[in-house]
């Protein structure tokens, strides 16, 4: 396990001697309105509560000061979900209605659930979110051939009538997952200005990237219930 978390908010620096889910949440609270959370090298086992591990809902940085979550310089940081209870649903990162967030350079592995599992779950009208340079592996849904058992490395799903905008998913490595009836990267519902750039997707069990819309259980405004103004470029997707 890692041995420290440093949160930088304005001119203040906060340190913790050990990283449990509770202390990580405390560290995140100090950068909720902008700032940088640097995580020390190590493997952090998350998800024992069987719910979302890192909840960034309602976090709002600014154009000048994003909420940044990343390893310390030169560090390898792994969030490991293999100890999580095998419930129906699990996310590593959950963002609802958040803005100006960047999560960079983190390795996420071993998260699994019976029906629905995601490394990143971005919902509820988020804006200006960057997921870049991450490695996502071992995301597995139980019984992947069963209908509506869905796993995602990254899910952008918006049922709100407020568009989810300005999302950048770039330079991520996604591999060796069991996504079931879903895709490695899924963008569904009321989304616009989505950029999916230079990601490497291998052996995920189903479609690599899906930009979708018009599902009846998504946005109630049919005129907005689809992904638009989106770019997917430079991505590599293969089954081997």
Digit-by-digit pLDDT tens for the chain (240 residues) are 344 555 554 433 333 334 555 567 778 888 899 988 888 888 888 766 544 578 899 999 999 999 999 888 898 989 998 887 778 888 999 999 999 999 999 999 999 988 889 999 999 999 999 999 999 999 998 887 788 888 999 999 888 888 899 999 999 999 999 998 889 999 998 899 999 999 999 999 999 999 987 777 777 777 777 789 999 999 999 987
Q: Which residues contact 102 (CB under 8 A, 6 or more apart)?
A: 66, 67, 68, 69, 70, 129, 130, 131, 132
SS3 196: strand
Please state, in angstroms and rounded to a whole number, the distance separating the CA atoms of residues 235 and 225.
25
Please state, in angstroms and rounded to a whole number, the distance separating the CA atoms of residues 141 and 150.
6
Other Cβ atoms less than 10 A from the Cβ of 160: the count is: 19
pLDDT in the model for residue 50: 47
Question: Would you state the torsion angle of the CA atoms of residues 93, 95, 99, 100, taken in this order, to the nearest 10 degrees?
Answer: 10
Q: Decide if 7 contacts 33 (C-beta within 8 A).
A: no
Q: Decide if 107 contacts 78 (C-beta within 8 A).
A: yes
Q: Which two tokens stand for residue 82?
A: 């293999």
Q: Decide if 7 contacts 37 (C-beta within 8 A).
A: yes
Give, in order, the Cα–Cα distances in Å from 117 to each of 114, 152, 186.
8, 6, 12
Q: ∠ CA 93-99-100 to the nearest 5 degrees?
A: 95
Q: Give start and end residues of each alpha helix (H) in the chain.
A: 21-29
**φ, ψ for residue 22 (rounded to 5)?**
-65, -45
Q: Which two tokens stand for residue 73?
A: 């310089």
Q: Decide if 37 contacts 28 (C-beta within 8 A).
A: yes
Please state, in angstroms and rounded to a whole number, the distance separating the CA atoms of residues 135 and 137.
7
Q: Decide if 132 contacts 102 (C-beta within 8 A).
A: yes
pLDDT in the model for residue 133: 98
pLDDT in the model for residue 4: 52
Q: Which residue has the tokens 């330079």?
A: 171
Please state, in angstroms and rounded to a whole number, the distance separating the CA atoms of residues 204 and 239.
7
pLDDT in the model for residue 33: 92
């Amino acid at each position: 396990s890692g041995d420290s978390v440093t949160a930088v908010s304005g001119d203040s620096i906060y340190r913790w001697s050990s990283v449990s889910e509770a202390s990580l949440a405390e560290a995140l609270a100090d950068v909720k309105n902008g700032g940088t959370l640097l995580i020390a090298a190590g493997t952090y086992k998350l998800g024992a509560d069987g719910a979302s591990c890192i909840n960034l809902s309602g976090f709002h940085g600014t154009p000048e000061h994003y909420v940044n979550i990343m390893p310390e310089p030169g560090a390898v940081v792994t969030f490991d979900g293999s100890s999580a209870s095998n419930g129906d649903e699990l996310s590593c990162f959950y963002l609802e209605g958040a803005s100006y967030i960047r999560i960079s350079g983190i390795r996420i592995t071993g998260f699994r659930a019976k029906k629905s599992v995601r490394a990143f779950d971005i919902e509820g009208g988020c804006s200006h979110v960057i997921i870049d340079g991450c490695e996502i592996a071992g995301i597995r849904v139980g019984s992947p051939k069963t209908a509506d058992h869905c796993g995602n490395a990254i899910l952008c799903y918006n049922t709100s009538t407020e568009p989810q905008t300005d999302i950048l998913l770039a330079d991520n490595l996604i591999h060796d997952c069991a996504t079931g009836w879903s895709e490695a990267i899924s963008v569904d519902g009321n989304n616009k200005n989505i950029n999916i750039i230079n990601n490497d997707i291998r052996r995920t069990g189903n479609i690599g990237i899906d930009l979708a819309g018009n599902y009846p259980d998504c946005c109630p405004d049919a005129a907005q219930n689809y992904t638009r103004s989106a770019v997917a470029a430079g991505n590599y997707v293969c089954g081997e």
